[in-house]
Amino acid sequence: KAGVTQTPRYLIKTRGQQVTLSCSPISGHRSVSWYQQTPGQGLQFLFEYFSETQRNKGNFPGRFSGRQFSNSRSEMNVSTLELGDSALYLCASSLDENQPQHFGDGTRLSIL
Amino acid sequence: DQQVKQNSPSLSVQEGRISILNCDYTNSMFDYFLWYKKYPAEGPTFLISISSIKDKNEDGRFTVFLNKSAKHLSLHIVPSQPGDSAVYFCAASSEFTSGTYKYIFGTGTRLKVLA
């Protein structure tokens, strides 16, 4: 069974640009969550999608947005990039709520 | 406000001995707890979970203990192996007023098992 796939693995952008990250969940999983990981901060929850609807949202500015498609694939977009957005962005999928989440290997975003 | 805390950033243990990783939480509404292991350049891997109706769950070398009155959970690894060297995250979830769940993660503990 294929795991969660995130593309690209690495990305370098400059301040002010925007970026789109992609996540393909495990087949059959309808819940997709996004996290930001920075040194010393652990995993910070961004948002969760289920059946193309955003079910929950963390405390991030509106520059961070996402969507989910009918095949459960999800994208995350960050606009007007700032230096502080440099982080590892992780996507996780699960069958539904309160089920273990399965993570992809992440996209490492560096802002210059 | 860090609702899930892992106060030890690192831990070193001799191979074959017990590793004990600790996690504290502040929200008494949390009812489901998980442990993840993360190797460098890989995403976290689910290890073991426990529901708030239990106080212990075991899976092979891994046992999670939950003390609800102290709002504390711990992960025991016995015996520890060099391959267990990784960063371990605890996570908790609860049903918020919106009726949906989300996971709150701790900041992680780096475990090093010495051969």
pLDDT score of B88: 97
Tokens of A61: 């500015």
Euclidean distance between CA atoms B10 and A101, whole angstroms: 24
Tokens of B61: 């070398």
Chain B interface mutation, best of A21, A31, A36, A37, highest count of B Cβ atoms under 10 Å: A37
What is the rounded average pLDDT of the residues A66-80? 96
What is the rounded average pLDDT of the residues A66-94? 95
pLDDT, tens digit (0-9, with 9 covering 90-100), for B67-83: 999 999 999 999 999 99
- The 3-state DSSP class for residue A69 equals coil
Euclidean distance between CA atoms B15 and B114, whole angstroms: 5
Contact call for A43 and B34, based on CB within 8 A: no
> Cβ contacts (< 8 Å) between B34 and chain A: which residues?
100-101
What is the sign, positive or negative, of the torsion defined by CA atoms of A34, A74, B31, A60? positive
The interface residues of chain B toward chain A in range 9-38, judged by CB-CB distance below 8 A, are 32, 34, 36
Q: Give the DSSP per-residue string, B18-56.
A: -EEEEEEE--TT--EEEEEEE-TTS--EEEEEEETT-SE
pLDDT band at B15 (very low <50, low <70, confident <90, very high): very high
